Amino acid sequence: MQGTMLYGPRDIRFEDRPEPKITKPTDAILRLSATCICGSDLWPYRGIAEVTQPTPMGHEYCGIVEEVGKEVRNIKPSQFVVGSFATSDNTCVICRDGYQSSCRQREFMSTAQAPMLRVPLADGTLVATRDLPSKELIPSLLATSDVLGTGWFAADAANVKPGSTVVVVGDGAVGLLAVLSAKQMGAERIIAMSRHESRQKLAREFGATDIVTERGEEGSTRVKDLTKGIGADSVLECVGTQESMMQAIRSARPGGFVSYVGVPHRVELTGTELFFAHVHLHGGPAPVRRYLPELIDLVLNEKINPGKVFDLMLPLDQVAEGYRAMDERRAIKALLRP
């Protein structure tokens, strides 16, 4: 089999890799229907997160179960399944609280940009659909694996409720699906912060009511202007930079909620500013597994169409072009077909 490896900044190779095998009795092997490139994959691709050795890539996936280990009870060969980027037993005390992405047995997936994938803790990590889904639904089902699950967590962690005023910082795929999530949760007003016309258009399609193009201090001032000088009830930070984090905190009203799901890079917060901001902060790697059953149902019932964030579809062997297109912002998100 061939799979995706990152050798160093902007050096993606699709090369021979060992085919995955069952190594623990709780594993499953999947034949992937689709995989994709994550915004977070761009951190090491751009050299912002250091790569010291050739590293397999990919953590978003859905597909057909080929084989399961001896101790796997619920997941069965030939089922269609979606799993999270973080594995979970779904039984420990942390999982039972709904934080499966901090499961005591967690592993982060990292070999999914390939045709075959080994998934540890299959029973706890994977969710199977009742029937095989139609081809048209594959992009949206793939989106539940991370990008939608993460946007959904951003909205949930920021306490979005019917009638809320919401700000979404970041117009990447997660930010756009955070808009969709806020809309599903009943937000009345959704202010998307975006400078890119094609992304603004998709944000509006997903439910954004206002667009703010300013950034940083000017961006948060503009949000205050739009919210009678008070700030938003819920602010969803979907980038992970110092500027986006401060923009988020300064856009929230006193007593408001700020969630942060962008992987932070060199973000530092000062105690005094946090103290006087008077906001609830809640974020981290999204516990996608908590939401998967609900999100898969919404997709299968065609209530939502998160697959629209994939504006580039490529055969898997052209994965390097997918990275280039996302790096150069020619594409929001690239789907890869094995």
Comparing C-alpha atoms, which of 189, 123, 191, 180 is closest to residue 299? 180
299 part of the interface to Zn ion, by CB under 5 A: no
- CA distances in angstroms from 36 to 17, 118, 195, 332, listed in the order given: 18, 16, 24, 11
Residue 218's contacts (CB-CB under 8 Å, 6 or more residues apart) are none
Where do the DSSP E strands lie in the chain? 2-8, 11-16, 28-36, 55-56, 61-68, 80-83, 116-119, 126-128, 165-169, 189-193, 210-212, 232-237, 252-260, 280-283, 312-315, 334-337
92 part of the interface to Zn ion, by CB under 5 A: yes
- Least separation in angstroms between residue 121's CB and Zn ion is 8
Residue 328's contacts (CB-CB under 8 Å, 6 or more residues apart) are none
86 part of the interface to Zn ion, by CB under 5 A: no
- Of the pair 124, 151, the CB lying nearest Zn ion is at 124
- Least separation in angstroms between residue 28's CB and Zn ion is 17
CA–CA dist 205, 14 (Å, integer)? 35
- Stretch of 13-21, 90-98, 227-235, 295-303 contacting Zn ion, by CB under 5 A: 90-98
Name the 3-class secondary structure at 221: helix
- Of the pair 59, 290, the CB lying nearest Zn ion is at 290
137 part of the interface to Zn ion, by CB under 5 A: no
269 part of the interface to Zn ion, by CB under 5 A: no
- Stretch of 91-99, 110-118, 232-240, 241-249 contacting Zn ion, by CB under 5 A: 91-99
27 part of the interface to Zn ion, by CB under 5 A: no
237 part of the interface to Zn ion, by CB under 5 A: no
- CA distances in angstroms from 232 to 187, 227, 247, listed in the order given: 11, 7, 12
- Least separation in angstroms between residue 259's CB and Zn ion is 22
CA–CA dist 188, 54 (Å, integer)? 46
- Stretch of 84-92, 203-211, 223-231, 272-280 contacting Zn ion, by CB under 5 A: 84-92
CA–CA dist 24, 243 (Å, integer)? 43
- Least separation in angstroms between residue 118's CB and Zn ion is 19
Residues in the chain: 338
CA–CA dist 125, 127 (Å, integer)? 7
For residue 24, the Cα-to-chain-centroid distance in whole angstroms is 27
CA–CA dist 286, 262 (Å, integer)? 10
Q: List 62's β-bridge partners, or say none.
A: 34, 82
- Of the pair 92, 300, the CB lying nearest Zn ion is at 92
- Of the pair 120, 256, the CB lying nearest Zn ion is at 120
103 part of the interface to Zn ion, by CB under 5 A: yes
- Of the pair 68, 121, the CB lying nearest Zn ion is at 121
- Stretch of 48-56, 87-95, 241-249, 283-291 contacting Zn ion, by CB under 5 A: 87-95
102 part of the interface to Zn ion, by CB under 5 A: no
89 part of the interface to Zn ion, by CB under 5 A: yes
- Of the pair 95, 177, the CB lying nearest Zn ion is at 95
- Of the pair 72, 177, the CB lying nearest Zn ion is at 72
- Least separation in angstroms between residue 92's CB and Zn ion is 3
- Of the pair 84, 259, the CB lying nearest Zn ion is at 84
171 part of the interface to Zn ion, by CB under 5 A: no
Q: H or E element: which one contains 292?
A: helix 288-300
- Residues contributing to the site for Zn ion (CB under 5 A): 88-89, 92, 95, 103
